[in-house]
Structure 1
Amino acid sequence: MGDKHATERLAGDAAGIARAAELLDSGGLVALPTETVYGLAGRADRTATVAAIYRAKGRPDFNPLIVHVPDVAAAERLARFDDRARAIAARFWPGPLTMVLPLAEGAPIAAAVTAGLPTMALRCPAHPVMRAVLEQAGLPLAAPSANRSGAVSPTSARHVLATLDGRIDAVLDGGAAEKGLESTIVALRDGGGWQLLREGPIGQPALAAILGPATPVSEARIEAPGQLAQHYSPGKPVRLEVVDARDDEFLLGFAAVAGDWSLSPSGDLAEAAARLYEGLHRAAASALPRVAVAPVPDAGLGRAINDRLRRAAS
């Protein structure tokens, strides 16, 4: 978008979906709901639109963007799929899984989307509103999380507007994000290896059941979103594994540790994942200058939760 102006609020109905598709087709930026977090969507085939995404987010241009597609056929026009990619797509798409794959020759994708890398990150989302927009727009959409870069990821339209109101064309309200954590990112390497680049709702054991043992991540290059060390920050110092908070700390509780606000009073990891960013938003908005977080078990979905918390605390 050009000069700063009011961001349209669109309902997640037929009229809102049609308006979002119209704005996207014309090169606009629209925050859209997915089952993970809200994404800031724009045409992945236009350099100017991708630049506008970076400008709105204040995001470094070495951090690639995930491209969202409606189905595997659309994905195969953009990246090189092998039998492994097709197997995990058949199992986990539509859903919270992003694959990093070799860029297809002649793929109509702006170079800024891949940050100049020979690979690209692809996802087929499950949220019905996002899928309806993808179908109507008929475009691959680059869509990083709809927030200022480094801030807490948004799980509601209200969170989007907290940092992007006036910076984007519209937000399409599809309710609260179901999963509340960004997608799992897996990179499939030439020669048969694979790596888990970002923990998420789909755990490594489920992927290993199809792909075999993973290869450790050793390279320092950034080739997928969420690999920057400081990410998901509430803008205040964060202390982890806390049972008794200090007087100047807003305590995010879990299970028996009640805190000022609890990720899950019952200790349910799925509930904690869905409420994580809401909790960090509350901590950011509180008058207390510091944040503390109760211990969260580092197993299953807890690994993905703790990954985000460690980045928030870095």
Structure 2
Amino acid sequence: MDLETETLCPDAAGLARAAALLRTGALVAFPTETVYGLGGDARSDLAVARIFEAKGRPRFNPLIVHLPDLAAARAIARFDDHALRLAAAFWPGPLTLVLPLRPDAGISELVTAGLDTVAIRVPAHPVAQALLRAFGGPLAAPSANPSGRVSPTCAAHVIEGLGGRIAAVVDGGACGVGVESTILALNPPTLLRPGGLPAEALEQALGQPLATGGDAARPSAPGQLESHYAPGATVQLAMTQASADAVWIGFGPDCAGADLNLSATGDLVEAAANLFAMLRNADRIAKATGKARIALAPVPDHGLGRAINDRLRRAAAPRP
């Protein structure tokens, strides 16, 4: 595959060009508030197959469908009272709901990996919203990076990983949240992937604790594979001091000697926004200095820290 990947401005002309490319079955990356997504027409088997091809993604891993509003989402999935309550509270925003697929939804079976459920969300980013409305249909959009690698939070990251493999990227600047959406299944409410919306906020809205679960061997939503989000260097967790053979990423003010720091003040929001870009930077430093490992300081496991630690555990998992 050898395409000339266009970089488009997020203005009317750029969005019109992006929508026109999507209508032909081509792939266009675009910013969301979480990370950049790799968009393709969710109704087209060809477009969705191209997403898997470009990413080198396992065919059994489902994709998230992005929609402009609740009305468009209800045309694709069945909503119960819990789902409607969560949509009213958190959409648009970094929440993905896994819901029963309507038989007449018109979504490619490649999107759902043959399941009778579909993962959907309404992004808050103004560029994502404008593109969805310009295109006029549902977009399947996993993160715009090679499968299993570090997710992209700016257009340059997309080009670095997928340049020459996709038609275009709409450059909307850096993503504000920096980690992917939280994924929730219902009946019972089950956290499938921690993400940009803290689980505590969901529990408060629902008035009950969330179950946790998911089968890494047969995912029902994205981001459940055991090895995922991995840089080139080996990742080591819970490193509390610098080491001569590792690039050390610290967290908080007590990490003197760290090569990088997710947040020098210990701010989990800042750390989440910096996570993927910092893993990429650490990987570059490791290659330049001949170090084989990236080590990370402990991150508190609450709020957005749960999402950060989930990504780091997957980055550190044995590679397939």
Match of 1:253 among 240, 246, 250: 250
Displacement of 1:245 after TM fit?
A: 2.6
Q: Larger deviation: 204-213 or 81-90? A: 204-213
Aligned to 1:217: 213
Are 1:201 and 2:196 matched, yes or no?
Answer: yes
Which consecutive residues of structure 2, in runs of 5 or more, have no partner in the other structure? none
Aligned to 1:60: 58
Aligned to 1:308: 311
2: distance between equivalents of 1:147 and 1:227?
16
Instruction: Please give the secondary structure, in 1, of the residue aligned with 2:211.
Output: coil
Q: Larger deviation: 147-156 or 19-28? A: 19-28
The 1:51/1:299 distance shift into structure 2, 3 A limit, reads same
The 1:222/1:5 distance shift into structure 2, 3 A limit, reads same
Give the letter for the 2:235 counterpart: V
Residue correspondences, number: 309
Give the letter for the 1:309 counterpart: L
Displacement of 1:218 after TM fit?
A: 5.9
The 1:238/1:171 distance shift into structure 2, 3 A limit, reads same
1:232-265 Cα shifts (integer Å, max 9, x gaps): 0002111111122321211111112141111111
Aligned to 1:88: 86
- Percent identity, aligned pairs only, is 58
Aligned to 2:107: 109
2: distance between equivalents of 1:294 and 1:44?
39
Instruction: Please give the secondary structure, in 2, of the residue aligned with 1:277.
Output: helix
The 1:5/1:93 distance shift into structure 2, 3 A limit, reads same
2: distance between equivalents of 1:218 and 1:270?
26
Aligned to 1:226: 223
Give the letter for the 1:122 counterpart: I
Aligned to 2:284: 285
The 1:33/1:218 distance shift into structure 2, 3 A limit, reads closer
2: distance between equivalents of 1:112 and 1:293?
36
1:122-169 Cα shifts (integer Å, max 9, x gaps): 000000001000001001000000000000000000000111000000
1: distance between equivalents of 2:214 and 2:170?
38
1: distance between equivalents of 2:250 and 2:201?
29
Displacement of 1:294 after TM fit?
A: 1.2
1:148-203 Cα shifts (integer Å, max 9, x gaps): 000000000000011100000000000000000100000012xxx11000001212
Q: Larger deviation: 168-177 or 12-21? A: 12-21
Give the letter for the 1:214 counterpart: L
Task: Give the conservation status (yes or no) of the 8 Å contact 2:228–2:314.
Answer: yes
Instruction: Please give the secondary structure, in 2, of the residue aligned with 1:17.
Output: helix
Displacement of 1:17 after TM fit?
A: 1.1
Match of 1:75 among 67, 73, 76: 73
Structure 1 vs Structure 2 CA RMSD? 1.1
- Equivalent positions of 1:168-207 (< 5 A) are 168-189=166-187, 193-207=188-202
Match of 2:302 among 291, 299, 307: 299
1: distance between equivalents of 2:140 and 2:65?
4
Give TM-score, length-normalised by structure 2: 0.94
Aligned to 1:271: 270
1: distance between equivalents of 2:260 and 2:10?
29
Match of 2:128 among 127, 130, 135: 130
Moved over 6 A (4+): none
1: distance between equivalents of 2:185 and 2:57?
22
Displacement of 1:53 after TM fit?
A: 0.2
2: distance between equivalents of 1:265 and 1:209?
30
Which consecutive residues of structure 1, in runs of 5 or more, have no partner in the other structure? none
1:88-133 Cα shifts (integer Å, max 9, x gaps): 0000000000000000111110000000001000000000001000
2: distance between equivalents of 1:295 and 1:83?
38
Task: Give the conservation status (yes or no) of the 8 Å contact 2:214–2:220.
Answer: no
Match of 1:28 among 26, 40, 45: 26
